[in-house]
Structure 1
Amino acid sequence: MKTDNPIYLFLSAGAEAFRVLTGGHELVGPYRFCSLTIKGLERRLDGIFEPDGHDGPVYVVEFQGQHSDKAWYNLLTKIGLYGEEHPHRDVIGVGIFLREQDRPRFPRWANQAQAPLLQVALRRVLPDWLAREPDNPYVAVFAPLLIDDDEDLRARAQDLWRTVQDVSLAPEVREILGQVLEFWFFERFRGLTAKEIWAMLNLVTPIQETKAYQSIFAEGEAKGEEKGEAKGEAKGKAMGQAMGKAMGKAESLKRLLTRRFGPLPTEAEQRIDTAPVAQLDAWLDGIFDAPSLEDLIGGHAGPAP
């Protein structure tokens, strides 16, 4: 299961995300989360919490979704490079691994309890979080990583979605948590279509009545119906529904592709916007199996400028 992108997206949700993911370590004072490239060597720090207006420590986060012998040295290199540019800051490395066995053996001191590094194995700490705080949306989003039985996960899908959507949080934070949960459901159930995944997350509410569907499709339906009034009410309604359906699928596909492959080049967006519904369905069905954007939709779908 691909986990790197949603992990960093999750961490952008703030201090509570950091607390959950580090097994209870709390940020003291305000922090800002960002991605940073060290100039000169162009080494990218994908996840970093910098103190905002105080002299607390900087946390450099390295997530490893699969085993790599170089993981500790990679993190130590990033700590050193950041420290060279900011020699008067206290820098702490945070190594987050999916499983205990993913931690590299070397350097040996990095795996000792007194090492100046924070390290977390998600499959060891998160089940306890899920048992203790099942109603915490920051914990609920990890259910697809922790619930091994597919049928059990399907049965709990709606409650997990409601835990994220009904919580009293800033809308942008709910959006981040919803994206993380949705992403991992797509990764977990690769054989299902987007519509089937959404139906799983909204077991009672028809997809046409969900806020996501309405926000995506309503504009297209309205435009189609406005045009249809000049040509006949029945024809206009059909046109509006067809346009809304195509626009909704196109927007959903672009959103998921951006989450999977990063910002889309203009050519890729144009191909999606002009594709028929049947082609959009095929691309949606294959989105998590394609190794690259170009392999999925064809054309010269290189990186966005």
Structure 2
Amino acid sequence: MKTDTIFYTLLQNLPSVLFEVLEKSPTLASHYEFSSVEIKELARRIDGLFLPKPEYPQDPIYFVEVQFQSDDNLYWRLITEAFVYLNQYKPEKSWQAVVLWANRDIDVGIPLAYQTSLAAGQIHVVYLDELVGTSSSIGLGIIKLVVSPEDKAIQEARSLINLVKTADAENGRDLLELVERMLVYKFSSYTRQELEAMFGLTEWQQTRFYQEVKEETKLEIIPKLLSEGLTVEQIARIFELDIEVVKQAIKNESK
């Protein structure tokens, strides 16, 4: 999975992290809806858009861009998208652009044409690897995990899991699932069994994400079992799947 997709998943599931990296109160997340909006003039979508709820008209719109590689046109593109959006939807609100770079070295620099916007605080630039004070925040801890080199990420992951386990029961399962997604991404060369052993995870077998991956794994194995001579009925019985699901998996593979 692409790193920016991982981060948009994080922002969608834990929107308070945006306000933490901006050094604002994470409670501001309750004022917003995180969405993806189509820009007709550009025939594309803005994936990282924080829109204030109607009851918070004084709050600004946030256009968020996550970047893990150098891009000479990023600032030009982001500001263009922001202005095209404003022209298309004509909201009666202020706005700010936020760029989350993986590190300072890949930041190409804000063009001279937008330096005034930077000085006015309308453009915010954050270097994710320079974030501090992440030990007590699950959202910032996830960011730290993703941007850390693998040798350091293992300890980051263990600390993060311990932090999740102390979360309130209402949100604990959802947070565990979110961390699980990040672990699968970060340690993609490890098997799920190895990850369970490395991090002492047992609860994640009950999460929706684990069940989805488990189901996908079954579907991937079906064609191999079919080639070994097993029948559709036998495969369905072994995996405890509906026969129609097995048939559909075979049909998809043939395409």
Q: What TM-score results when the alignment is normalised by the length of structure 1? A: 0.61
1:7-46 aligned within 5 A: 7-24=7-24, 27=28, 30-46=31-47
Taking a change above 3 Å as real, the CA distance of residues 187 and 90 of structure 1, as seen in their structure-2 partners, is: same
> Is contact 2:39-2:45 (8 Å) kept?
yes
Specify the alignment match of 1:231 in structure 2.
Answer: none
Deviations 1:70-89 (A, max 9, x none): 11011111101110123233
Specify the alignment match of 2:213 in structure 1.
Answer: 252
Query: How far off its partner does 1:251 sit?
Result: 3.2
Q: In the alignment, residue 181 of structure 1 is paired with which amino acid?
A: V
In structure 2, C-alpha distance between the alignment counterparts of 1:73 and 1:168, rounded to whole Å: 42
* Paired positions, count: 224
Once the two structures are overlaid, the 10-residue window that deviates more, 80-89 or 109-118, is 109-118
Q: 2:74 aligns with which of 71, 75, 89?
A: 71
In structure 1, C-alpha distance between the alignment counterparts of 2:85 and 2:210, rounded to whole Å: 42
In structure 1, C-alpha distance between the alignment counterparts of 2:74 and 2:215, rounded to whole Å: 32
> Is contact 1:23-1:120 (8 Å) kept?
no
In structure 1, C-alpha distance between the alignment counterparts of 2:207 and 2:211, rounded to whole Å: 13
> Is contact 1:83-1:91 (8 Å) kept?
no
Helix, strand or coil for the counterpart of 1:8?
helix
In structure 1, C-alpha distance between the alignment counterparts of 2:74 and 2:120, rounded to whole Å: 19
User: Deviating runs (4+, > 6 A) in structure 1?
Assistant: none
Deviations 1:69-122 (A, max 9, x none): 011011111101110123233222111111112222351354654452122111
Deviations 1:200-236 (A, max 9, x none): 221xxxx6xx2332567xxxxxxxxxxxxxxxxxxxx
Once the two structures are overlaid, the 10-residue window that deviates more, 138-147 or 65-74, is 138-147
> Is contact 2:41-2:84 (8 Å) kept?
no
What percentage of residue pairs aligned between the two structures are identical? Answer: 22
Unaligned runs of 5+ in 2: 228-251
In structure 2, C-alpha distance between the alignment counterparts of 1:253 and 1:113, rounded to whole Å: 50
Query: How far off its partner does 1:169 sit?
Result: 6.7
Q: 1:104 aligns with which of 105, 108, 116?
A: 108
In structure 1, C-alpha distance between the alignment counterparts of 2:102 and 2:85, rounded to whole Å: 25
Unaligned runs of 5+ in 1: 217-247, 256-268, 280-296, 301-305
> Is contact 1:32-1:51 (8 Å) kept?
yes
In structure 2, C-alpha distance between the alignment counterparts of 1:22 and 1:299, rounded to whole Å: 49
In structure 1, C-alpha distance between the alignment counterparts of 2:127 and 2:61, rounded to whole Å: 21
> Is contact 2:63-2:97 (8 Å) kept?
yes
Helix, strand or coil for the counterpart of 1:69?
coil
In structure 2, C-alpha distance between the alignment counterparts of 1:28 and 1:16, rounded to whole Å: 5
Helix, strand or coil for the counterpart of 2:71?
coil
Specify the alignment match of 1:211 in structure 2.
Answer: 203
1:127-138 aligned within 5 A: 128-130=132-134, 134-138=135-139
Q: 1:89 aligns with which of 70, 90, 93?
A: 93
Specify the alignment match of 2:233 in structure 1.
Answer: none
In structure 1, C-alpha distance between the alignment counterparts of 2:62 and 2:82, rounded to whole Å: 9
> Is contact 1:47-1:62 (8 Å) kept?
yes
Taking a change above 3 Å as real, the CA distance of residues 179 and 109 of structure 1, as seen in their structure-2 partners, is: farther
In structure 2, C-alpha distance between the alignment counterparts of 1:178 and 1:192, rounded to whole Å: 18
> Is contact 1:50-1:59 (8 Å) kept?
yes
